[in-house]
Amino acid sequence: MRESADACEPHPRAGGIFDGQSGTIAAARGIVTAFLTTLSTHHGLTIATDIPDIARLVVSELVTNACKYAPGPCTVDVETDGVWLQLSVWDSAPTMPHAAKPEPGRIGQHGLEVVLALTDSLDIHPQAIGKRVTARLPLNH
């Protein structure tokens, strides 16, 4: 895992590169937590009380999918323009994810449904290798 942060205005960002092994999901959540703490403490941004939990859940679901379905590394990038929080996960799998039709009896495979329910937008873009999945939510609603 390699982490980086750039707290320079106007778009603070942080991120990490992960090997997809044990601890990746927790480390990704840690990046989100540290980033939001920095925004509040050092940038004076107001963050709704539920946003840290929502952001950690969203990044957990996105990174879980990357670790489960893609071989090799993944990256996590967190960025804000002061109004919106953007969470991006890149992985090496070319297959585009899709949310399954809701089935309350289904065990598992609800991650993308959860992400769609919690965020204002979800974009999936193919890359030269793999794809980038980007979720966006407001810092303060």
pLDDT tens digits for range 59-97: 999 999 999 999 889 999 999 999 999 999 999 999 999
Contact, 54 vs 61, CB < 8 A?
no
Structural domain harbouring 127: 2-138
The pTM for the full model equals: 0.90
Q: What is the mean pLDDT of residues 14-39?
A: 96
Structure tokens at 18: 């992960």
3-state helix, strand, coil in the chain (%, to 5): 35, 30, 40
- Based on the structure, what is the number of domains in the chain? 1
Residue where the block lists tokens 């925004």: 39
Q: What secondary structure does DSSP assign to 8-69, as a single string?
A: -SSS-EEEEEE-SSTTHHHHHHHHHHHHHHHHHHHS-----TTHHHHHHHHHHHHHHHHHHH
CATH code (residue 17): 3.30.565.10
- How many CB atoms within 10 Å of residue 113? 16
